[in-house]
Amino acid sequence: MAQDGETVVFESDEAFETWLGENHAASPGIWLKLRKKGPGIVALDYARAVDVALCYGWIDGQKAKADNAWWLQRFTPRRARSRWPKVNRDKVAALIEQGRMRPPGLAEIDRAKADGRWETAYDSPGSATVPDDLAAALTAALHGCTATAPSHCGRSGKEPSAGRRDRSRQRVPSRARQVSGPMTPSTCRWWFSWKATAADFVPEPNSPSTARP
* 5-9, 10-14, 106-110, 173-177: the lowest-pLDDT one: 173-177
Residue 69: pLDDT band (50, 70, 90) is confident
Looking at residue 200, its pLDDT comes to: 41
- Whether residue 166 is predicted with pLDDT greater than 70 in this model: the reply is no
H runs (alpha helix) in 9-152 = 13-23, 46-55, 86-97, 103-115, 132-143
8-state DSSP, 173: H
Looking at residue 43, its pLDDT comes to: 74
- Whether residue 42 is predicted with pLDDT greater than 90 in this model: the reply is no
Looking at residue 163, its pLDDT comes to: 46
Q: How far is CA 205 from the centre of its chain?
A: 14
H runs (alpha helix) in the chain = 13-23, 46-55, 86-97, 103-115, 132-143, 161-166, 172-179, 185-191
CB 112 within 8 Å of CB 78: no
Rounded mean pLDDT, 22-31: 96
Any idea where the domains of the chain sit in the sequence?
6-122, 126-191
pTM of the model: 0.63
Q: How far is CA 1 from the centre of its chain?
A: 21
CB 58 within 8 Å of CB 77: yes
